Amino acid sequence: PEYIFFIKYEFWFNYMQEAYKRNIPFYYVSAIFRKNQWFFTFCGVWFRKQLSKATYFFTQNETSKQLLNSIHINQCGVYGDTRFDTVAAFTKQSDTIVERFSANQPVLIAGSTWYEDEKIISSVVPQTEFKWIIVPHEIDEKHLKQIRDLFSAFGCMFYTEITSDKDIANCKVLVIDKIGILRTIYHYAFIAYIGGGFGKGIHNTLEAATYGLPVIFGPNYKRFQEACDLINLQSAFSIQNTNDLENILHKLIHDKLFYLKASENAQTYINTQKGASQKIYSFVFED
């Protein structure tokens, strides 16, 4: 290859060494670093040496740039996250089943959920007047059975089982047991819940935020710059338990100004963060 691009924190050290030996320029795009990583510890001499071989780091934020500078890596600059360009380019797509299910009623989409998320959501569903779409991260048989057990009492249907309008007439919860359509249906929602926050970390918040949706997620989000930014903008809200979820839903539903501000801030945030891809392209291929 003439150029190699690694994304975020894909540190393939053998690959990096081989590229360096062959004088192939390699770059890190949307790079993000944290102080507790090996590179910045007493034991991280070897790891720092590998990083220093990179041609350039396009970091997401100033903190990452400063961390690199602190270990004498100066071939870096703040360029932002290219994912903003990806989500901003989304175009709305129609989905017949989701349209029939929503039928112009308010819908909350819970995307990339795990069982811990679903347990909390199932405790809140009976108290809500809107409809829910659950899009589990895993759709294996065991997990789908767990979901059916949690939500069957509320009128629950699975996406692949629906054959007619009658099937979803009295359905309050629609479960998407199909891969690959989550990002195309967020525009049907008025609020999004993002799964993973009670496990290793939340999933993609930007796919929802690009439609101006306030987003809710569990406590494990601090490794993700965009989630922290959305929290600071009061466009995202972290919960610890069922009570927290009930409270923030009540606030978003009954305080229209609060909701509109959260929605507006989310969309503005996406729009103002665009442009990293073009800047990186210009740096590598045009300068």
Residues 125 and 177 in one domain: yes
According to the model, what pLDDT value does residue 108 have?
98
Give the model confidence (pLDDT) of 62-111 as tens digits. Answer: 999 999 999 999 999 999 999 999 998 887 889 999 999 998 899 999 99
Range of the domain at 24: 4-80
Residues 219 and 251 in one domain: yes
In a domain, 91, yes or no: no
Residues 55 and 197 in one domain: no
According to the model, what pLDDT value does residue 164 have?
83
Residues 60 and 101 in one domain: no
Residues 235 and 175 in one domain: yes
Q: Give yes or no for a contact between 131 and 172, defined as CB atoms under 8 angstroms apart.
A: yes
In a domain, 76, yes or no: yes
In a domain, 187, yes or no: yes
Residue type, position 222, single letter: K
> CA 273, CA 126: separation in Å to the nearest integer?
38
In a domain, 217, yes or no: yes
Residue ranges in the chain modelled with pLDDT below 70: 287
Give the model confidence (pLDDT) of 236-259 as tens digits. Answer: 999 999 999 999 999 999 999 999
Strand partners, 2: none
Residues 56 and 101 in one domain: no
According to the model, what pLDDT value does residue 250 have?
97
pTM beyond 0.75 = yes
What is the number of structural domains in the chain? 2
According to the model, what pLDDT value does residue 166 have?
78
Domain final residue pick, 80, 104, 131: 80
CATH number at residue 196: 3.40.50.2000
In a domain, 49, yes or no: yes
Tokens of 139: 């759709």
Q: Give yes or no for a contact between 270 and 204, defined as CB atoms under 8 angstroms apart.
A: no
Residues 167 and 266 in one domain: yes
Residues 32 and 75 in one domain: yes
Domain final residue pick, 31, 56, 80: 80
Domain final residue pick, 56, 80, 104: 80
In a domain, 162, yes or no: yes
| Sign of the alpha-carbon torsion through 24, 84, 88, 175 | positive
In a domain, 147, yes or no: yes
Residues 253 and 114 in one domain: yes
Residues 169 and 67 in one domain: no
Residues 199 and 246 in one domain: yes
According to the model, what pLDDT value does residue 165 have?
79
Residues 230 and 124 in one domain: yes
In a domain, 85, yes or no: no
According to the model, what pLDDT value does residue 53 have?
97
